[in-house]
Amino acid sequence: MSTAVQFYCPVCFAEVAADERDAPCRVCGARAEEWQRRDYTERLIHALRHPNPEVRMGAIISLGNRRDPRAALPLAECALAHPIDVVQALAIVRALHAILPAPERETALDMLAAHPARAVRRAVARMRSEP
């Protein structure tokens, strides 16, 4: 049994047919090759808004590995935009832990300290109590 691969516009995340993936997006007009010239961290940050949670999780892990403080606030916003996805939010706390210390990281942690899920709030508190 084969499963069909789903393609999305890299900018607006509209579904794209496989035979149209190299054409401009019918919804927003974006072209994939133009999008690929953008900074990789910027593209990962944008992927945090993807409708597929697996794509978001890949972006979360990659952003943590990159350790770029620019990702801190978008990561916190992602966790708050999907409050019932506790696994994703905990991955975001781990990614924030990996990000280099910066004011953006502290602001992101402040935001997540008020997350609806107790497990997330506790993870933030544990992270802040570590040396």
Tally of domains within the chain: 2
What pLDDT band is residue 3 in, cutting at 50, 70 and 90? low
- pTM as predicted: 0.85
Q: What is the DSSP letter of 55?
A: H
Instruction: Report pLDDT digits (tens) over 82-107.
Output: 999 999 999 999 999 999 999 999 99
State residue 75's pLDDT score.
98
Pair 83, 45 in one domain: yes
Cα–Cα nearest to 52, from 17, 98, 85: 85
Pair 11, 68 in one domain: no
In whole angstroms, give the CA distance from residue 75 to residue 52: 16
For the chain, the residue count is: 131
Domain containing 3 equals 1-37
In whole angstroms, give the CA distance from residue 20 to residue 131: 51
Pair 32, 75 in one domain: no
User: Alpha helices, DSSP H only, in 1-101?
Assistant: 32-35, 40-47, 53-66, 72-81, 86-98
Instruction: Report pLDDT digits (tens) over 26-42.
Output: 888 888 788 788 899 99
Share of the chain above pLDDT 90, in %: 69
Pair 27, 59 in one domain: no
Instruction: Report pLDDT digits (tens) over 64-75.
Output: 999 999 999 999
